[in-house]
Amino acid sequence: MNMKKATIQLETLACPSCVQKIEKATKSLAGVDKDSVKVLFNSSKVKFDFDTEKISIGGMSKRPLPRLDTLF
């Protein structure tokens, strides 16, 4: 395993329930260390450790992501 840390700036989080949805979605990604996931409501960021052999943050940022309200 080749683990790295990631901090991703999100759009402004409007409600605390968004935190739970983002946390759940991030933890479901293959290669993400589930125990390291932290969603920071006040700064609208998500932080986590990930295995570079299983997931690429660069690849994630290049593809358009669906709106959160269409995911859950």
Count of other CB atoms within 10 angstroms of residue 43: 13
Give me the pLDDT at residue 16, please: 85
Q: Output Rg (C-alpha) for the chain, integer angstroms.
A: 12
Q: Please state the φ and ψ torsions of residue 8, each to the nearest 5 degrees.
A: -115, 125
Residue 39 pLDDT exceeds 90: yes
* pLDDT band with cut points at 50, 70 and 90 for residue 60: low
Single out the residue of 39, 41, 55, 47 nearest to residue 6, CA to CA. 47
Residue 62 pLDDT exceeds 50: no
